[in-house]
Amino acid sequence: MESIVEDLVALRLDPRTVRANDPFHGLIVAADGVTSMEAARFREAVEILEGIAPDTLGPEFRTTREAVLSWARGDLPGACEVLTECLQNSRGEHALLTGYLAHMANFFLGDNEGLLETGRVIVELSSTMSRHGAGLSDGLLAFALEECGHYSDAISAAERAMSVNHDDVYALHAKVHVLQRMRENKAAQESISRYPRGWGTGEPMRIHMWWHFAVALLDEGELDEALRCFQLEVRRKSSAGALEDLDAVALLWRLEMLGGQDFSQMLVPHWAALAEDWSAYAGDPGYIFNDLHAAMAFAKVENHHLFESIVTSCRDREAPEFFQQVCRPLFDGIAAFAKRDYATCTWKMQRALDRQHLRIGGSKLQQGIFHWTRNAADAYLRGGSPRDLLSSHTHSRTNGGMS
């Protein structure tokens, strides 16, 4: 029981170790499914959980089952509330499982304060876990600390985690986030390059870590190398899910903004391929952060039908106020930027970006793409280019400043 929970949290759950007739294993598979944030996996999780009689699970795991079932049925805030409350009285592998799920729920909800509180509670309970589980708890805390701007503490937590589990990719990921938020791009790239297991096709977060590597290249103005990284690594997919395509869109959109018109022509075939990959998602969307990246791909290839289908699905799924104040302005800004209507892009996106919390999920670094889009549009309106923003940012960094 303990080892399968630790495999899930370490992002190394092996389907070959899962017993189909074991109710607890079914719960773990369903938990893995909902953290993908994909509609098809949600339906699979509902089917699994509805087939598990509650009394076949230990009392503490029955509540976790109900929370995961609520998540799979579309009530992520409700699931998060149950998981957070349940965590307070948890111990051992139940604390690790519940804490991990609460951590992921807070992340997908864009609730950084909740993320940090959850991280601190998990670590407080880590003395009831195995050494391996306790190390994984520090990795979860490290990411929460980074998202809340506590960089020094985040590095310390990540390094504690990796001193216990040298291949803790989530802790490494948190450390890389800190380094990039501090504009220590070379250190971030070195940390990725030195990962002891290497980056084989079966390694969790492989594509996302290459995305981080490429973003560091962009931040240093090395666009050609970033494009090479996109071609050789970020697009070397290992699954058909939206998660890997999201990273590809996020990198290509940044390249599009920074590269100018000539560079943009080289990206046309890549956009066509990405839009094709996103077309399946358009028929079965389920998460706002994915929706926005799918919309970028469809906007670039001028597939207005699929773009609008994503917007419509999002409107039908999200609360009306949230859709009107956050989702709609971001969709409109994306569409306007793709059409080079920079005035509309700036105006629309500013409406959403003025908010203190977007609540769209994704990390601060990932959400930066929307700020960059608004800033790039503004730069064009002023007669400059987004590359001027990068040059100014690099100059301020090398003179001891941060932007």
Query: Which range is least confidently modeled, 168-177, 237-246, 374-383?
Result: 237-246
388 within domain boundaries: yes
Residue 239 lies in a domain: no
196 in a structural domain: no
Report the alpha-carbon distance of residue 395 to residue 133 in Å, rounded.
Answer: 43
Tell whether 190 is covered by a domain: no
Q: Which domain holds residue 56?
A: 2-168+258-398
Q: Which has the minimum average pLDDT: 31-40, 117-126, 258-267, 319-328?
A: 258-267
In a domain, 265, yes or no: yes
Pairwise CA distance, residues 230 & 218, whole Å: 11
The total of other beta-carbon atoms located within 10 Å of residue 15's CB is: 7
Cα separation, 183 vs 172, in Å, equals: 16
Per-residue pLDDT, 391: 54
For 282-318, what is each residue's pLDDT tens digit? Answer: 999 989 999 999 999 999 999 999 999 999 999 999 9
| pLDDT tens string 191-247 | 999 999 999 988 999 999 999 999 999 999 999 999 999 999 999 887 767 778 999
CA distance 201 to 335: 34
In this predicted structure, the answer to whether residue 55 has a pLDDT above a threshold of 70 is yes
pLDDT at 295: 98
**Residue 376 domain-assigned (yes or no):** yes
Count of CB atoms situated within 10 Å of the CB of 373: 27
> What is the Cα–Cα distance from 201 to 305, expressed in whole angstroms?
34
Encode pLDDT of 324-360 as tens digits. Answer: 999 999 999 999 999 999 999 999 999 899 987 889 9
Q: List, in sequence order, every beta strand (DSSP E) within 202-357.
A: none
Packing angle, helices 242-282 and 364-381, rounded to 10: 70
Tokens standing for residue 253: 């959109």
Compute and round to an integer the Cα radius of gyration of the chain. 21
Total domains in the chain come to 1
Q: What CATH number is attached to the domain comprising 79?
A: 1.25.40
Residue 228 lies in a domain: no
CA atoms within a 13 Å half-sphere pointing along the CA-CB vector of 337? 33
Within 10 angstroms of residue 3's Cβ, the number of other Cβ atoms is 12
- The Cα–Cα gap between 345 and 130 comes to 51
pLDDT of residue 399: 36
Do residues 241 and 38 make contact, with C-beta atoms less than 8 angstroms apart? Answer: yes
For residues 317-331, one letter each, b for 16 or more C-beta atoms within 10 angstroms of the residue's C-beta and e for the rest, the string is bbeeeebeebbbbbb
127 within domain boundaries: yes
For 328, the token pair is 């709609």
Q: How many helices (H) and strands (E) does the chain have?
A: 21, 0
Arithmetic mean of pLDDT over the chain: 93
Measured over the CA atoms of residue 291, residue 295, residue 298 and residue 301, the dihedral's sign is: negative
CA separation for the pair 64, 317 (Å, rounded): 24
